[in-house]
Amino acid sequence: MSTTVSAVIELLIRRKVFATEEKAVRALLWEYILRQLSALQRELTRFERKYGMRYEQFTEYLHERAIMQEEDDWLDWKVAGEMLESWLGLRREVVG
């Protein structure tokens, strides 16, 4: 860890926010993971509301009639779903 990060963690430990460095890192990582998950879930919901369908349905729809903006949204939607799965996997590893 960098000096700045270590200093912040030490400050949190001195102020009894966390008992140990490991608990501090785990808790901060957990909060970060939850923020990432929340942001990605909001993005997926936004696409579902915008098009009134789930990703799989949109993929079928797009193959039938493709418009450039919709293709861009499809790719963003796909990436957001893959990133969500990745963050969910990391969350499982942190909990386990």
- The domain locations on the chain are 30-95
Instruction: Evaluate if residue 18 carries a pLDDT over 60.
Output: yes
Angle (nearest 5°) at CA 84 between 5 and 86: 70
Closest-CA residue to 51 (of 26, 35, 72) = 72
Give dist(CA 68, CA 71) in Å, integer.
Answer: 5
Average pLDDT over residues 38-59: 96
pLDDT for 50-67, tens place per residue?
A: 999 999 999 998 888 868
Which whole-number Å values give the CA distances from 16 to 5, 9, 13, 52, in the listed order?
Answer: 17, 11, 5, 48
